[in-house]
Amino acid sequence: MAGPERTETAARQSPAVPDASLHRRLEAIGTAAYVVDEEGRILAANVRARDVLALTADDMLGHDAHDLLHRDSHGQPLPRTRCRMRQAFHAGRTAQAAEDHFARGDGSLLPISWLITPYEIGDDGAGTLVLFHVADPAQATDPGPEPAARPLPELERLALLAEATAQLTSTLDVDEALERLVNLVVPRLADWVVIDLITERDEVWRTAVVHAEDGALVHRDDLQGPMPPVPEESPMPLSRALRGVASTVTGPGTYRRTPDSGIAVEQRRLFDMTGMHSAAIAPIRSTRAVLGALTLGRADDPVAFTPADLPLVEDIARRAGLALDNARLYQRQRKVAETMQNHLLPQMPRVPDLQMTVRYLPAPDASQVGGDWYDAFPLSDGSTALAVGDVVGHDLEAAAGMAQVRNMLRAYAWSQHEPPSRIVTRLDEALQHITDVDMATMVFARIEPADDGQWQLSWTNAGHPPPLLISRDGLASYLTDGHGIVLGAGAGTPRPDAVTLLPPGSTLVLYTDGLIEEPGHTLDKGLNRLSRHAAALAHRPLASFTDHLLRRVRPADNDDDVALLALRTPGVRTGAGGR
């Protein structure tokens, strides 16, 4: 199934190691299956495939599937120009055949029927899934074209389930999961699909009513919305499915009798409005609870559902339930994490003549809420304290540690009239004895008015990326003085202080490493990117400066949170004022 001819050595080069989830998905398929990459090399094969072919994983992985397996009816290598599977593979389409032959590891010839379909393999890109059965001997000897054209329901079912697994488990967004579910079943299995979900408040919501019309999917918003409560004893099909009792094949006649509940009334309206003559209804379950019900309906298709169709509908609904449950848990965790982080981060004080703005961007992964933080607060001597830091870790424990560090810093800075280095030294000593924080970085500074319209900044840096200072004319420089070791190192060495004057109209940027770090690139590259864009944006108002800086500088594949504090001193008093 490979593309251009290659040498034997090239053909056996190992492909990229696939994600472990690919192997798990193949093992869940109820027939022999393997996946190839874009060049036709085998990425993974399940146990059934290896057993049927009498091959080990080492015999298969990394090999060109066509060269390894495909044979003609006499056991000879099959020319690529005559290989139907190879042609479908290169066309990127789903195809099937009831008569072909694979070579087994023991040298024997295996008559097989097969189905192939494009298959997402995660970060490794696009692949192709191959499902095959040992063909019936009569099939294997029948040379006519009719068997190849005859549909193979079992293979199609397995291919659909494999696609459902790949599609539904690769998103953590509820709406996206529902959209993928709709596209999987309509119009392949039905011309109507209805999804009823049970909310976290135990209310039923008809989330989707979709019809296939002239090759397009049409959402019937008029049939969607809140539903009556689920009756506890109702024998009606949807009520039973929403209680997780059973799957059912039903039709409009079931709901023409006297309704026993509000849900039965809504179901009668659904059948009347859609014209469905047959429906299959299955519970949508997770491992913890019933999440809703999936209804597949046929109106244009004259073939009615039968009980034999229910196992497939149940399998799809089960996969949908797991995907929806994971997505709900993810969104709930993300909301909790973001709420906690937002409550931990303070509001900025109003300082006469100074502009200040802050931004916090959470990590893309909800589980990665971390210890990035910023702070600014007035000191008892009239100056203003500034801080940005990062507690090591990416979890709620790191966020809790961040709150401890920030609160202790505030207490020391307010009560002790000492240089920033001494305040941070006291904080470091306390962290090692009264907190669970193992390591942290920070820049702690104080700013106060100086002569000639300038502002004096004094600071110390505990292992953190250096502050960036941009003049009103767009000259950018990093404040690299005052750099010491991280908090928690236990070295006990003195920490340095640094002092500089901020000219009128200048902008100071304090930030965490999530703004500049990019996998596979040096830190210098991120620092250069930040200074270049900051200089270009120096003329913008501070809020606009900050927003554009985040958009331009934060790497697209960033998996860390970002805290940023930007401060601007007043400009020369010529009537224009500060920008």
The DSSP annotation for 478-529 comes to E--SSEEPPBT----PPPP-EEEEEPTT-EEEEE-GGGT--TTS-HHHHHHH
Q: Which residues in the chain come in under a pLDDT of 70? A: 1-19, 122-125, 135-153, 333-346, 364-370, 393-396, 572-579
Cα→Cα distances 118→48, 95, 121, 129, 513, Å: 20, 10, 10, 6, 39
Q: Give residues with Cβ within 8 angstroms of 421, minimum separation 6.
A: 460, 482, 484, 494, 495, 496, 497
* The pLDDT of residue 72: 86
Looking up tokens 């995660």, which residue turns up? 122
Q: Do residues 499 and 458 lie in contact, with contact meaning Cβ atoms separated by under 8 Å?
A: yes
Q: Give residues with Cβ within 8 angstroms of 263, minimum separation 6.
A: 204, 227, 228, 229, 230, 231, 234, 236, 238, 239, 242
* Direct distance between the N- and C-terminal alpha carbons of the chain, in angstroms, rounded to an integer: 64
Q: Which two structure tokens, joined as six digits, stand for 378?
A: 């007035």
Q: Which residues are 511's β-sheet partners?
A: 564
* The pLDDT of residue 141: 37
Could you give the angle at which helices 153-168 and 310-344 cross, rounded to 10 degrees?
Answer: 10
* The pLDDT of residue 149: 32
Q: What percent of the chain has pLDDT over 70?
A: 86
* The pLDDT of residue 153: 58
Q: Do residues 50 and 60 lie in contact, with contact meaning Cβ atoms separated by under 8 Å?
A: yes
* The pLDDT of residue 299: 94
* The pLDDT of residue 331: 76
Max intra-chain CA distance, the chain: 99
Q: Give residues with Cβ within 8 angstroms of 487, minimum separation 6.
A: 405, 424, 427, 428, 431, 437, 439, 440, 441, 442, 462, 463
